[in-house]
Amino acid sequence: VFVGNIHPDTKEEEVIELFKKFGKPDRSIVRRSAEGISLGYGFLEFSDASQARKAVEGMNLIVYKERQLRVDFADCRSKSSQFSPIVFIDQ
């Protein structure tokens, strides 16, 4: 589950606490820069698809720390599947 527009001061533990009413997330990541500054988005992983669906339906567009969260299903494609296997060589 993708969570966007997270306030910069929000910690992973807070995100888990917000979402645990839909089921305990298996993993939670709030993305940060190399300097440790929040990038404003993160991901949650639920082992049960119905919990993820309820989390998206129940949490999208709620306001947390004066920010309206954007919650949706994450694109689960691996990085390798996002690129063509064809290699072009310029001669």
Each residue's pLDDT tens digit, 32-88: 999 988 999 999 999 999 999 999 999 999 999 999 999 999 976 544 444 444 444
Average pLDDT of the residues in 29-34? 92
Tokens of 44: 């949650």
pLDDT tier for residue 91 given thresholds of 50, 70 and 90 = very low
- CB neighbours of 32 closer than 8 A, spacing ≥ 6? 38, 39
Angle value at C-alpha 90, between 88 and 91, nearest 5 degrees: 135
